[in-house]
Amino acid sequence: MVLDVLHSFEAAIVPYYDLLRVFHIISIISWMAGLLYLPRLFVYHAERGTTSEVRETLSIMEWRLMNYIMHPAMAASWLTGLALLLALPGWGPHLWMIVKAVGAVCLTGLHVYFAYQVRAFRKGGRTHSGRFYRIINEVPTFLMILIVVMAILHPWDGVFADLRGE
């Protein structure tokens, strides 16, 4: 039953594969923009948020970035990514896919952590030093490079094809 639904969904989306790629790339650009910029705002907040006016302005910027850009972009990245996965021709146990999925799950974990930090800055919860946010700012960059290398180069495909005896 579930398989039937998945198969009919797959048949419906295959003709739109390239369009899905377009939406996937637009979504991840928007998501990444937020994941890369928000920790910079946290740095300013931690180091320069000396007056209540500056803190309020930064909190509004962080909250809007998270709620108007990052939440929708993350949802769209997952939806288009999963739809692509379903429509992918010759689906198999590719190592690049697994590494890419682990990278995407880590980015999602980071996103959730950033959402908590936005709330902590807004409501006076536990926040960290500017140095901490500078360091954490490098994590999405690293994950993005890893994911894009996996998505475009499809490394180890040869290894898996050999293992499958192809």
Pick between residue 46 and residue 87 the one whose CB is nearest to ligand HEM: 87
Shortest reach from residue 147's CB to ligand HEM, in Å = 4
**Residue count at the site for ligand HEM (CB under 6 A)?**
18
Report the C-alpha gap between 46 and 33 in whole angstroms: 20
The answer to whether 78 contacts ligand HEM (rule: CB under 6 A) is yes
Number of H helices, E strands in the chain: 8, 0
Long-range CB contacts (within 8 A, 24+) of 19-25: 20/80, 20/83, 20/84, 20/87, 21/84, 23/76, 23/80, 24/77, 24/80, 24/81, 24/84
The answer to whether 13 contacts ligand HEM (rule: CB under 6 A) is no
Report the C-alpha gap between 137 and 132 in whole angstroms: 9
Q: What is the largest CA-CA distance in the chain?
A: 66
> What string marks each residue from 120 to 149 as x (binds ligand HEM by CB under 6 A) or -?
------------------------x--xx-
Shortest reach from residue 82's CB to ligand HEM, in Å = 5
Pick between residue 54 and residue 145 the one whose CB is nearest to ligand HEM: 145
Q: Return residues touching ligand HEM (CB under 6 A).
A: 21, 24, 28, 32, 77-78, 81-82, 84-85, 88, 104, 107, 144, 147-148, 151-152
